Each structure stands twice: as C-alpha cells, then as structure tokens.
C-alpha cells in the first residue's frame, strides 16, 4: 500500500513568548550561520522538552522533536497523549499552518483540516460563501463544489442559516459546517483535531460515522486527535502516542490506548490555574463568566474510595453583568467515556466584585475503580433548546478511585463504568457561593 504521509525527523521549536528567535541579534546570527556560512542553526542545539509541568531552563522549547513515522493510504490514525504533548502542533505542521523547524513532511493528495472552531472561515462571509472559498482553497472547481453543496448543508444542519454571516453562528454550528466542508469536499487526507468535543452527542455520532465512511468506504486517510479513548478505539486502525513532543509508541489503536491508560502519563491533577489551552471554545464564547482556577479539595486524589464525596472549588471572574449562571460538570473515565453529568441550580453572580469563588460537592459520585477526568462549564439555560455557553474547560482536573470500603465491595467492585451515571440529579450535586 502506498504511503500517504511521511514525517522525516520533524521538529518544531519555539521561543517562549516571542516570534522567531525574539531578538534581532539572534535572527541575524541564525541567518548568518545558516544562509551565509552554511552551518547548522545554532539555536537547534538548545531548548527544553515540552513539559508544561516543569520550570523552563531555556528560552527555547521543542514542541515536537524527532518525529519519524509513516501513514499508509486508507489508514485512520489516532494521535493521543496528554495536554501539551504536541498533538495539535503535529496536525498544524501537516496542514501547513506553520512550518517545521527541522525535518520534512511529505503528503500525497489534498489535505482538508479541521483544527479549531472556525478555522479557515471568514466571519463576514455567509456559510455558503465560506463553502465555496474552502473548496477553492482545496483546488476544486465551482462545478465540483456545486455537486457537493446540498450534502454539505444537509449534514451540517445549518440550512436555515446557510446564507447568514458565519460570525453570527454558535460554536456548535461553526463546528458542524466546518466538519461538513472538510469531509465532503473529497480530500485525500482528512485532519481532525478534538474540536468535535464542542458539538452535541448526535453530531459527534454523525461525524464519527462520516469519518468511517471516508476511510473505509472511500479509502481516504484520516488523522484524528482526541482525548476520547473510546472514539479512538472505535474509529482508528492505528495509533501514535506522544509524550513531551516525542513519539513514544506506535501500533494498533487498541494497543496505543491500552499503553496510554496503563502508563503514568495520565497524571492526577488536583489544582489548575486555567489558561487558554484548557478552554474548548477557542475564543468563540463571550465569557460573561469565566473560570480562573479550579481545584479538587479531597486530601488524597491519587487514592480515593468509591463512596468518597467529591469536593471542588472554582474561582471565576465576571466580565459582563450576568445576574446568574449554572455550573455544569462532566466526569469521564480514562477511555474518554462520559460517566456522569451534573448541572447546578442557578447561581447568583455577585455584582459588587469581579472575582468570586464557588464550592461544589458531590456527596454520592458512585463511580467504580479507575482514573477520571473533570470538565467544567459555565452557562445558562435559555428558553430555546440550546443553552447559552459562557466558558467551557476541557479535562482540567483528574483523580483516581483506587479502593472500595469492605462493606461496599460486592456493590461496587464489578460495576461497569456507565453504572455511575447521574444525570441532572440535584440531590447529588451541591453548589454554594463562598466568597
């Protein structure tokens, strides 16, 4: 089988907080050494690995280093690893959003990418106009796009708003249309980042089905980044595991997921100061209320009991003048399966200060043994079906349930993951404003 994508010793280096090297003297030095003297780039010899948890000892960081693997035509490859491992950077290099610092990437065929919400869309143009523009970028004629137009619109579910400027779309609508454009304009290679997590469950199911059709039915190549290990197992044939910017394992999707779950790469994170990489909205939401910090207050998050209450604290900031909001939480297991969803009553927003804190308690989580991740959402239910989102954090906190109290052993030990599901049960979810 022919090779569709080939990474040859690819590396991507950044200087922290700056563009290029960040200084004129360093830029001139790099140009003089490489272009005039024909020597090696002096700044490639330095730099830390991309470890978000450690303190930087150098101004230079390798987001990716020595990436070397091939993807065959028709393969569906899942790229997995924890936040900051280099997954999104890898897809950006392949999509030519940015160029590698060293190494080469060879790809056969047209590449359609869905990397972030609204990638490649012009906000002032309508949905229909953006479809034509994206098709033209892929090298398609107007006639070819016309033949696909009805399928794209139907799949996206945006028919009513297809002639409305994209800037007026919700994040979910933008994702729907973006995916439909990327999948239906006949790319040889489809590149999808974890933006599908923004869409609803129905759309995620449709999107995964379409990716299966593209790969299995049409023999096209798919690269898929996701934190949902269940989706990786169901959709992908092969897997690539990244850690700190390097490939640490290649194999089948199941082997790759099992290695990831069983390794110590899945950290327990009890406290998190929120930054932009933790958010799932890519700047689309208005963030009338936004998260600044989130914490798990349990004393031993590495070793928790099945019946131990979960206690969280969240620090938020009021950026507008909402009077109230809801704090929702999603708990998922190590394979990315959502096992619990909690939604709060309306919480009053203090009007006399910008920053405030809430405390969240789940007295009866009813979760079996295993590792879990927590998402946070600030939003407000509206009279329409679609809620008004303010802020949405990906899996920022984690904990590990490692033992069962003896008197509950028979009840909990053999539970399947989804048996802990709690949907909209206000009696098991308590939120209070603490200051």
Which superfamily, per CATH, for 3-109+188-262?
Answer: P-loop containing nucleotide triphosphate hydrolases (3.40.50.300)
Query: What are 88's two structure tokens?
Result: 């999104």
CA nearest to 98, candidates 167, 177, 19: 19
Q: Do 225 and 88 meet the contact criterion of CB atoms below 8 Å apart?
A: yes
Domain boundaries, the chain: 3-109+188-262, 271-433
Whether the predicted pLDDT of 26 surpasses 90: no
Instruction: Report the range out of 23-32, 34-43, 183-192, 289-298 with the highest average pLDDT.
Output: 289-298
Tell me the CATH architecture of domain 271-433. Distorted Sandwich (2.70)
The count of C-alpha atoms lying within 13 angstroms of the C-alpha of 375, restricted to the half-sphere facing its C-beta, is 25
Amino acid 259: pLDDT? 83
φ, ψ for residue 350 (rounded to 5)? Answer: -60, 130
Tens-place pLDDT, residues 286-325: 788 999 999 999 988 877 877 788 999 999 999 988 889 9
Give the pLDDT confidence of 236-250 residue by residue, as tens digits: 889 999 988 899 999
CB atoms under 10 Å from CB of 408, counted, come to 12
Confidence band of 337 (pLDDT split at 50, 70, 90): confident
Q: What is the pLDDT of residues 59-84, one digit of tens each?
A: 677 888 889 999 998 888 999 887 77
pTM for this entry: 0.60
- 130 to each of 67, 76, 143, 186, 221, how far by Cα in Å? 34, 27, 15, 16, 24
3-109+188-262 and 271-433: identical CATH topology: no
Nearest to 198 by CA among 281, 314, 268: 281
Instruction: Please name the residues in contact with 249: beta carbons below 8 A apart, sequence gap of 6 or more.
Output: 239, 240, 241, 255, 256, 259
Beta-strand relationship, 246-252 and 238-243? antiparallel
Task: Tell me which range, 54-58, 191-195, 419-423, 424-428, is most confidently predicted by mean pLDDT.
Answer: 191-195
Residue 6's region, left for phi above 0, alpha for psi from -120 to 50, else beta, is beta
């Amino acid at each position: 089988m022919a090779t569709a994508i080939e990474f040859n010793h690819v590396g991507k280096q950044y200087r922290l907080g700056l563009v290029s090297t960040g200084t004129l003297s360093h830029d001139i030095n790099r140009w003089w050494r490489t272009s005039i003297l024909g020597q090696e780039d002096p700044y490639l010899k330095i730099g830390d690995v991309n470890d978000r948890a450690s303190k930087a000892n150098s101004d230079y960081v390798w987001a990716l280093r020595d990436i070397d693997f091939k993807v065959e035509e028709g393969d569906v490859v899942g790229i997995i690893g924890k936040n900051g491992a280099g997954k999104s950077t890898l897809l950006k290099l392949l999509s030519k959003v940015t160029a590698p610092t060293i190494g080469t990437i060879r790809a056969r065929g047209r590449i359609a990418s869905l990397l972030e919400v609204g990638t490649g869309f012009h906000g002032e143009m309508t949905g229909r106009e953006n479809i034509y523009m994206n098709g033209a970028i892929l090298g398609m004629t107007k006639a070819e796009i016309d033949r696909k137009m009805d399928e794209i619109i139907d799949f996206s579910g945006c028919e009513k708003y297809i002639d409305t400027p994209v800037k007026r779309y919700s994040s979910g609508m933008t994702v729907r249309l973006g995916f439909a454009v990327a999948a239906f304009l006949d790319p040889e290679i489809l590149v999808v980042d974890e933006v599908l997590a923004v869409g609803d469950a129905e759309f995620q199911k449709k999107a995964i089905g379409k990716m299966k059709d593209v790969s299995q039915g049409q023999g096209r190549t798919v690269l898929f980044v996701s934190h949902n290990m269940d989706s990786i197992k169901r959709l992908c044939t092969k897997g690539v595991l990244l850690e700190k910017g390097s490939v640490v394992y290649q194999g089948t999707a199941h082997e790759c997921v099992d290695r990831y779950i069983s390794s110590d790469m899945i950290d327990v994170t009890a406290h998190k100061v929120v930054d932009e990489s933790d958010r799932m909205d890519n700047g689309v939401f208005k963030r009338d209320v936004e998260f600044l910090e989130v914490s798990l207050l349990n004393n031993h998050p590495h070793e928790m009991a099945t019946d131990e209450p979960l206690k969280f604290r969240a620090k938020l900031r009021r950026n507008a003048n909402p009077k109230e909001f809801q704090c929702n939480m999603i708990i998922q297991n190590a394979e990315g399966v959502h096992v619990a969803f909690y939604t709060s009553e309306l919480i009053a927003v203090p009007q006399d200060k910008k920053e405030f804190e809430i405390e969240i308690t789940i007295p009866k989580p009813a979760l079996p043994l295993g590792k879990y991740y927590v998402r946070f959402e600030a939003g407000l239910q509206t009279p329409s079906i679609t809620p008004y989102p303010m802020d949405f954090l990906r899996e920022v906190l984690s904990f590990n349930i490692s033992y069962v109290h003896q008197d509950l052993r028979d009840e909990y030990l053999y539970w399947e993951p989804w048996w802990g599901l709690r949907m909209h049960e206000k009696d098991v979810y308590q939120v209070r404003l603490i200051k």
